[in-house]
Structure 1
Amino acid sequence: MTRHQTDTGTDYVLTARGMTKRFGGFAAVNNVDLSIRRGSVHALIGPNGAGKTTCFNLLTKTLTPTSGVITYDGQDITRTRAADVARLGLVRSFQISATFTQMTALENVRVALQSKEGTGFHFWSPIRSLSHLDRRAKDLLDQVGLGDMADAKAADLSYGKKRALEIATTLALDPQVMLLDEPTAGMGHEDLEPITELIRETAKGRTVVIVEHNLSIVATLCDRITVLQHGEVLTEGSYAEVSADERVITAYMGGVDED
């Protein structure tokens, strides 16, 4: 499917209707409706405290909504566990780079591939039994620009390369929908362009949902943007549309921050 189809139900791979999350009497997310188009790059943005991280955690099933319905590929996943939706192809990365620092880049990707095969906990198996995964692991490292760093320990990689490694481990799970939580957070300027290009490349053939505070990255990458404020949808549209909205300008006055 392309990114410019008619608005039929089958065009949307991930949807939320009336999605609400309360913590005691506080509604962190309140009656949010979302429709993520298949094959698109869709951003969730908003000022500090907007609820975007909570919304992201609800979509990825790290949290269960207080009320509302979430569907993935036409299936109700409102009460489905995070591990189960990951097996279905809805896979997230984390704001803090989630790698095994004392393992090599190749070993990190191989662990993810083991998980995909259902052999993630077979630690007693001889290492040679996992050698068939090495070719795929090396291919994934090549995809993210780490082909020449397969034997480097994750701890020794630069911050930007650690994020690239995390994307490789995410791709190892063969996601249909990849959810990226602040992928450029904490990066120096020198890492922004390579990671942006990497996300662009990995988005080909899949859907990407991104929580991102860097609006220049959002403008460059995203087809559609949902702006949240106080746990509710403020507006939605293209970058040109939302950046011209006076309510968005007002919401962002004073700077953009993370949840």
Structure 2
Amino acid sequence: MSETLSLDERRPDADASAYALTARGLTKQFGGFHAVKNVDLSIRRGSIHALIGPNGAGKTTCFNLLTKTLTPTAGTITFEGRDITGMRAADVARLGLVRSFQISATFPHLTALENVRVALQSAYGKAFHFWRSLSAVEPLNARAEELLDRVGLAQSRNLTAAELSYGKKRALEIATTLALDPQIMLLDEPTAGMGHEDIEPITELIREAAKGRTVLIVEHNLSVVSTLCDRITVLQHGQLLTEGSYAEVSSNPDVITAYMGGVDDD
């Protein structure tokens, strides 16, 4: 049964630890195959933390476990001191842990403004006003405009999502995620498929969006990771290989070997 979550439950306790999200012994087994095995993670509050690894390392599975898309075979997940291991994805999102490019998927035939407004309707408990007159959701327009301006889409507010370039669509997805006012944003391959001209603006947008919140990012582009992330966790064959700053992990011989010998991703 879904839990009813008060606003107070979303506020971190003043005496809470320095870590917003932790996992202990996180494991996911499919038959006899361990996609993730006994992984420990500690994501420091207010940081940008990357989860990287060669193809087949288990990054996607780990990400899906943290966001409750998958149920772990073993282990625990704690968000702001609360055990969320058995919770549903929707309930975890209400607590403030939001996965971008999942919840924030855009509606191609709605304008940029309308897409952000739909997300705001969900955040402010007006989801069913979607079917009512525009006057019911007009109070959300100012906030929607503010979010579009923040991600550089003020001039594109009246374009449909289908009309936006790939980079601008990603910016719109970040705007709709921010509309949910997350404490933790989990970004899955935010620069995947982008040309060089879009990567730097999106990287700066993520840096701006991270102010005042925690970000966990899965990213293949190591140049993005090197300039954006405070700490990096490296997975290999579903297990924790090492963790540290970019300088530490990029010079680690085991990491270098792992990247040279990758296989197909999960």
TM-score (norm 2): 0.91
Q: How far is 1:93 from its partner?
A: 1.1
Mapping 1:118-197, distance limit 5 Å: 118-197=125-204
Identity of aligned residues (%): 77
Q: Deviations over 1:126-169 (max 9, x none)?
A: 11110000000000000100011110000000000000000000
| Equivalent in 41, 65, 79 of residue 72 of structure 1 | 79
SS at match of 2:130: coil
- Counterpart of 1:126, as a letter, is S
Q: How far is 1:217 from its partner?
A: 0.2
Task: Find the aligned partners of 1:257 and 1:73 in 2 and give their Cα distance.
Answer: 34
Equivalent in the alignment of 1:86: 93
In structure 2, stretches of 5+ residues that fail to align are: 1-14
Instruction: Give the total of aligned pairs.
Output: 252
Q: How far is 1:61 from its partner?
A: 0.7
Matched, 1:222 2:229: yes
CA RMSD of aligned residues (A): 1.7
TM-score (norm 1): 0.94
Note if contact 1:51-1:229 (Cα within 8 Å) is conserved in structure 2: yes
Note if contact 1:182-1:211 (Cα within 8 Å) is conserved in structure 2: yes
Equivalent in the alignment of 1:105: 112
Task: Find the aligned partners of 1:123 and 1:43 in 2 and give their Cα distance.
Answer: 36
After TM superposition, the structure 1 stretch with the greater mean CA deviation from structure 2, 123-132 or 201-210, is 123-132
Q: Deviations over 1:64-118 (max 9, x none)?
A: 1011000000000001100111011000112898210000000000000001112
| Equivalent in 55, 59, 82 of residue 66 of structure 2 | 59
Note if contact 1:97-1:163 (Cα within 8 Å) is conserved in structure 2: no
SS at match of 1:121: helix
Q: How far is 1:124 from its partner?
A: 2.9
Note if contact 1:95-1:183 (Cα within 8 Å) is conserved in structure 2: no
| Equivalent in 230, 238, 241 of residue 245 of structure 2 | 238
- Counterpart of 1:156, as a letter, is E
Q: How far is 1:121 from its partner?
A: 2.7
- Counterpart of 1:36, as a letter, is I
In structure 1, stretches of 5+ residues that fail to align are: 1-7
Task: Find the aligned partners of 2:251 and 2:16 in 1 and give their Cα distance.
Answer: 29
